[in-house]
């Protein structure tokens, strides 16, 4: 048997999964029956199934057979509290304490004032120039260079920015390069649009430029998506030198960069965006979801000048435009400086909570790897491979502590031993601390039940 034969069969099964002939969750034929129908041996089929398992498309269970893996759903990553006493460490959003009343005051002021008729009308383009200017100020404050406000396109949050750009700049079957562990929302878009995620390895400085170069050479992706600041989930922030190296790779290939810099406001100092280095080949994405409120659904794309009309037309076709009312609020918050004060306040809360988490979780067990940054919204815990990750996540849930399993962040469904713990979703400091304490004791308890391998 040649290696090519089982790879060929794996590809055949992969395309049957893609076209829905073998739907998600369905049982695959036994080795013997598939071997007979493909005129090959059961050993070759077994090897093909192993390869598909490695690729994350199939899962096999001793005695039960092989199944098409189910796509992880976002509701499993970002979980909703089922009961009031649940402690939610699964959502990356601002901590709503004082900020909630500030937002309520701003909103009530806006809605009791005279509003221009334009706010009630259809708009040309993706929004008014005043709203775009506000977006420009927001992005420029945190590291982006913008030549003209017209290059700022308004959308319904960063998720809408990502889905629009992926639809505009790739087609079905294309590869899209991503950090090996990344934001599950972008993985979900890629899979649901029939594109293929391709993982690029990372180190302590983020996506590795040499690895990206190899992926571009080998897979010819249409797009590269990078989260350069406080990366979700690893918390890594790319230093300038790595940003430069990534930009150099982008420059060499016919590929677009999507720089999702939604956490830039948490950086210790203003770090120049990668987009500044390759402005004609990169789209920069930001949003107010993390610093102000995800409920606003205010996102910004800075497009290369040459692409402004193409993306604007696409957004117009799909949704006409994002809500002018929400951008009116955004503009007032930004122009008055309140948005920046809120962002700074959230950063202070994140720093305080990181300190607490480090003290409580940092030294839980010597073999648990604790990844964090002073002002990130979350931490990334990697457990020893002998641990049952799903067991820990499930047991925590049963105790009313919600955390996100690392498996949802794997760009190519690799097995994970990590959990993401968001430090900001719980508004009350005391509840936050008692939740962390509960988590620590659950981790300790789980560790004592692990049988060493
Ligand atoms: C890296 C990243 N990009 C985009 C989003 C989505 O942001 P928005 O609420 O603006 O759509 C998130 C939310 O968690 C995220 O972590």
Same domain, 268 and 315: yes
From residue 323, how far is each of 159, 249, 304, 308 by CA, in Å?
A: 15, 37, 23, 19
Residue-wise pLDDT for 98-140, tens only, equals 888 889 988 888 878 888 888 888 887 888 999 999 999 999 9
Q: Which of 89, 135, 158 to mutate to test the pocket of ligand 1 (most atoms within 8 A of CB)?
A: 158
Which atom of ligand 1 approaches the CA of 93 most closely?
Answer: 14
Cα of 111 vs centre of ligand 1, distance in Å, is 27
Q: Which of 160, 178, 185 to mutate to test the pocket of ligand 1 (most atoms within 8 A of CB)?
A: 185
Q: At 3, is the pLDDT very low, low, confident or very high (cuts 50, 70, 90)?
A: low
Number of domains observed in the structure of the chain: 3
Same domain, 92 and 23: no
Same domain, 218 and 362: no
Which atom of ligand 1 approaches the CA of 183 most closely?
Answer: 1
- Name all residues whose Cβ lies below 6 A of ligand 1: 92, 157-159, 183, 185, 227, 232, 260, 262, 287, 289, 294, 299
Residue-wise pLDDT for 57-114, tens only, equals 888 887 888 888 876 667 777 777 766 778 999 999 999 988 888 899 888 888 788 8
Q: At 450, is the pLDDT very low, low, confident or very high (cuts 50, 70, 90)?
A: low
- Determine, yes or no, domain membership for 90: yes
Same domain, 240 and 367: no
- Determine, yes or no, domain membership for 104: no
Residue 247: pLDDT above 80?
yes
Which atom of ligand 1 approaches the CA of 92 most closely?
Answer: 14
Same domain, 329 and 347: no
- Determine, yes or no, domain membership for 180: yes
Same domain, 134 and 242: yes
* CATH number of the domain that residue 432 is part of: 3.90.1150.10
Same domain, 309 and 403: no
* CATH number of the domain that residue 254 is part of: 3.40.640.10
Q: How many CB atoms lie within 10 A of CB 382?
A: 18
Q: What is the pLDDT of residue 2?
A: 52
Same domain, 219 and 294: yes
Give me the domain span that covers residue 63. Answer: 3-68
Q: Give the residue, by CA position, lying nearest to ligand 1 atom 7.
A: 158
Same domain, 292 and 387: no
Print burial letters for 44-81: b (CB count within 10 Å at least 16), e (below 16): bbbbbbebbbeebbbeeeeeeebbbbeebeeeebbbee
Q: Give the residue, by CA position, lying nearest to ligand 1 atom 4.
A: 158
Among 337, 362, 378, the domain boundary falls at 337
Cα of 289 vs centre of ligand 1, distance in Å, is 7
Same domain, 80 and 18: no
Same domain, 415 and 275: no
- Determine, yes or no, domain membership for 378: yes
* Contact status, residue 235 vs residue 369, Cβ threshold 8 Å: no
Number of H helices, E strands in the chain: 15, 17
The average confidence (pLDDT) of the chain is 91
Among 337, 372, 401, the domain boundary falls at 337
Same domain, 360 and 440: yes
Mean pLDDT of 206-232: 98
Q: Which of 74, 156, 159, 298 to mutate to test the pocket of ligand 1 (most atoms within 8 A of CB)?
A: 159
């Amino acid at each position: 048997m040649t290696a090519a034969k089982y790879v060929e069969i794996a590809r055949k099964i992969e395309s049957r999964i893609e076209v829905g002939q073998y739907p998600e969750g369905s049982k695959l034929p036994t080795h013997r029956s598939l071997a007979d129908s493909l005129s090959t041996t059961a050993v070759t089929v077994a090897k093909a199934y192993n390869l598909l398992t490695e690729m994350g498309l199939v899962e096999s269970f001793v005695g039960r057979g092989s199944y098409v893996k189910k796509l992880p759903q976002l509701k499993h990553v970002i979980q909703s509290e089922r009961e009031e006493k649940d402690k939610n460490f699964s959502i990356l959003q601002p901590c709503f304490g004082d900020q909630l009343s500030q937002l309520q005051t701003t909103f009530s002021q806006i809605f009791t004032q005279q509003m221009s008729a334009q706010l009630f009308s259809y708009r040309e383009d993706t929004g008014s120039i005043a709203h775009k200017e506000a977006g420009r100020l927001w992005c420029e404050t945190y590291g982006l260079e913008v030549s003209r406000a017209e290059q700022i396109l308004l959308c319904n949050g960063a998720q809408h920015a990502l889905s629009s750009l992926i639809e505009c700049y790739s087609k079905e079957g294309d590869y899209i390069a991503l950090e090996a562990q990344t934001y599950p929302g972008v993985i979900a878009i890629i899979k649901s649009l029939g594109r293929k995620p391709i993982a690029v390895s990372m180190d302590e400085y983020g996506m590795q430029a040499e690895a990206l170069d190899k992926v571009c050479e080998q897979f010819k992706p249409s797009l590269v998506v990078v989260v350069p600041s406080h990366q979700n989930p690893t918390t890594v922030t790319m230093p300038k030198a790595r940003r430069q190296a990534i930009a150099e790779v982008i420059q060499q290939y016919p590929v677009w960069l999507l720089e999702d810099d939604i956490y830039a406001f948490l950086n210790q100092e203003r770090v120049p965006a990668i987009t500044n280095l390759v402005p004609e080949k990169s789209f920069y994405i930001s949003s107010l979801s993390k610093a102000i409120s995800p409920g606003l659904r205010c996102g910004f794309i800075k497009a290369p000048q040459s692409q402004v009309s193409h993306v604007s037309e696409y957004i117009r076709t799909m949704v006409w435009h994002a809500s002018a009312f929400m951008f009116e609020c955004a503009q007032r918050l930004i122009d008055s400086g309140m948005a920046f004060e809120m962002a700074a306040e959230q950063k202070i809360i994140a720093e305080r909570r990181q300190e607490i988490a480090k003290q409580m979780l940092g030294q839980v067990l010597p073999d648990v790897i604790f990844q964090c940054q002073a002002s990130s919204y979350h931490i990334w815990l990697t457990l020893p491979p002998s641990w049952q990750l799903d067991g820990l996540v499930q047991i925590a849930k049963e105790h009313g502590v919600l955390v996100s399993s690392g498996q949802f962040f794997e760009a190519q469904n690799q097995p994970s031993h990590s959990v993401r713990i968001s430090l900001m979703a719980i508004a009350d400091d005391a509840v936050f601390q008692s939740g962390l304490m509960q988590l620590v004791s659950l981790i300790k308890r789980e560790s004592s039940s692990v049988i060493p391998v």
